[in-house]
Amino acid sequence: MLYYENNIHTLVYLLQECKSYGIDNFIFSSSCTVYGEPDNLPITEDAPVKTAMSPYGNTKQISEEILQDVCAVSSLKTISLRYFNPIGAHETAEIGELPVGVPQNLVPFITQTAAGVREQLSVFGGDYPTEDGSCIRDYIHVVDLAKAHVVALERLLKGENEDNYEVFNLGTGRGSSVFEVIHAFEKSNQQKLNYKIVDRRPGDVISVYADTQKANQVLGWKTERSMEDALVSAWKWEKKLRGL
């Protein structure tokens, strides 16, 4: 219920305010979860929006439908950016990720385990049909993601959008398994992690990574930072946060 209240209600209220104040440009933070369990990889923007695997994913699907409906009958112009898996922090360690309670995403769980906040890192499932048995995701540095927003906003402000509603995938185009991320963190930060494989988590798809050609070609945007860059920045942020 909290997902629906936060993601659906507030979107409607924001759109009402946009109408009241004559704001016609809107950037929506969507998600690769709208694709569900994909039929083909990498995922293009033309891939079907399938039944969501989680309430969170469903709120993103519903939000996109609301925006498409509004754009069809008003002057609103929207770019939906479908995030894959943002990770990392700003290199200054002034801005980073601080989830409430137990982290639901991999990298904060990793950094909190390394910092001693969590006793052990749980790997949800080691028997998936992947090379090492763990889920595969497309991990994108959050600074690259932020820069995509600037490019998208410039596109709207300059009137370069081809339709009132446009969609772009934001990812690296490369899938990395959970174990690959764990080992990359250990190597790039010289930190040994205590982890164990536990039961699969409901709602997790097996493998998801983006086809980024549309964003590369139409927006003129592409990722610049590596997995290692993201993991080093995330650990730097965690250490500053914890006074280590």
Give catalytic residue positions: 56
Q: How many helices (H) and strands (E) would you count in the chain?
A: 8, 9
Q: Give the separation between CA 57 and CA 1, rounded to whole angstroms.
A: 13
Q: How far apart are CA 15 and CA 140, in angstroms?
A: 28
Instruction: Let me know if 57 is exposed, middle or buried by CB neighbors in 10 A (0-12, 13-18, 19+).
Output: buried
Residue 76 contacts residue 18 (beta carbons within 8 Å): yes
Classify residue 99 by burial, with Cβ atoms within 10 Å: 0-12, 13-18, 19+. Answer: exposed
Closest residue by Cα to residue 186 from 197, 196, 194:
194
Instruction: Give the total residue count for the chain.
Output: 244
DSSP assignment letter at 54: S
**What residues contact residue 196 under an 8 Å CB cut-off, 6+ apart?**
120, 121, 122, 123
Contact indicator for 138, 174 with CB cutoff of 8 Å: yes
* Burial class of residue 193 (count of CB atoms within 10 Å of its CB; 0-12, 13-18, 19+): middle
